[in-house]
């Protein structure tokens, strides 16, 4: 079975290096596809063996919609030659519980649903990680309904609003499946130095000229970070087993089915706990 991974990136070199290292170990570099939103020769250096597609970075009006539709087009092409297409942002890693699966490929190949949603968690670091797997160095995490996203599909399907867009007649019946032990690790807050750089880029984009640019989360990225870290620190620390079970039992059921957008997605629930990743995840990231 052939599984590939697709992402799109602009300048976020540290996150991209971790995305590449993790998914290359799991899937092989030849099965990784990186859309560079603007020419960037550093990507080839950071991601040897991956396929790099450069698209112009001009008018950023309608930023999120244009980016999603562009990735939909690449997804259509990749679905013709791969059995599964994993699709994430460059600061998101698809990880698995080694107690349940031997590899990421095994975790995905075991599923029969048309689309997979992963239970998401934010990874929060206090210092710059070294060059090894990031989940072996940064272990503080908090599960997130918001980052529990559609992450892989058997066929081409539009990804929207952290879920998938379906035909109106299928909105109420389209299967929602979150496999136990399949996770999305969100690295935005894992490296304080990279976060400062990325926030500067986000604020520049959101405050630029054009309509339909990213909203407050980008326009006030530094303040958003401050609020996030304060909220994270205030969460109740609990053991992994308790936190993971509560998050899975809460987020894996009763998906949101949005009439306005014809989107099926996990509910963006706020969870009160934080926890520490077990040692068995140390070779991922």
**Per-residue pLDDT reduced to its tens digit, 165-197:** 999 999 999 999 999 999 999 999 999 999 998
Cα 47 to chain centroid distance, Å, stands at 18
Cα 98 to chain centroid distance, Å, stands at 19
> What does the pLDDT average to over 96-124?
98
Contact 95, 277 (CB under 8 A): no
With a cut of 70, say whether residue 113 has pLDDT above it.
yes
- CATH code for position 26: 3.90.550
Contact 110, 101 (CB under 8 A): yes
The domain of 132 spans 3-281
At residue 36 the predicted structure's pLDDT band, cuts being 50, 70 and 90, is very high
**Per-residue pLDDT reduced to its tens digit, 3-23:** 999 999 998 999 999 999 999
Report residue 163 as tokens. Answer: 């879920």
What three-state secondary structure class fits 187?
A: coil
pLDDT score of 58: 73
pTM: 0.95
Q: What is the largest CA-CA distance in the chain?
A: 49
- N-to-C CA span, the chain: 23
Of 53, 124, 103, nearest to 277 (Cα)?
124
Q: Flag the least confident range among 1-5, 52-56, 60-64.
A: 60-64
Domain tally, the chain: 1
């Amino acid at each position: 079975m052939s599984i590939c991974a697709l992402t799109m990136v602009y300048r976020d070199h540290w996150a991209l290096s971790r995305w590449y290292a993790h998914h290359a170990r799991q899937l092989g570099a030849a099965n990784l596809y990186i859309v560079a939103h603007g020419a960037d020769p550093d990507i080839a250096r950071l991601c040897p063996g991956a396929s790099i597609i450069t698209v112009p970075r001009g008018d950023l009006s309608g930023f999120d919609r244009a980016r999603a539709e562009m990735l939909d087009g690449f997804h259509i092409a990749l679905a013709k030659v791969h059995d599964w297409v994993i699709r994430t942002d460059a600061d998101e890693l698809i990880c698995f519980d080694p107690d349940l699966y031997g590899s990421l490929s095994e975790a995905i190949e075991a599923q029969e649903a048309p689309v997979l949603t992963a239970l998401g968690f934010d990874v929060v670091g206090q210092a710059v990680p070294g060059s090894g797997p990031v989940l072996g160095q940064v272990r503080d995490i908090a599960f997130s309904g918001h980052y529990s996203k559609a992450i892989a599909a058997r066929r081409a399907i539009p990804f929207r609003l952290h879920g998938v867009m379906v035909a109106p007649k299928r909105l109420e019946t389209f299967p929602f499946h979150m496999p136990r032990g399949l996770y999305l690790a969100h690295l935005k807050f894992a490296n304080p130095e990279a976060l400062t750089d990325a926030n500067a880029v986000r604020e520049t984009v959101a405050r630029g000229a054009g309509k339909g640019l990213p909203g407050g989360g980008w326009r006030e990225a530094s303040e958003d970070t401050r609020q996030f870290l304060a909220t994270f620190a205030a969460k109740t620390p609990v053991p992994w087993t308790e936190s993971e079970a509560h998050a899975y039992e809460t987020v894996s059921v009763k998906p949101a089915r949005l009439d306005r957008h014809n989107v099926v997605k996990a509910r963006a629930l706020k969870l009160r706990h934080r926890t520490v990743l077990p040692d068995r995840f140390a070779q991922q990231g």
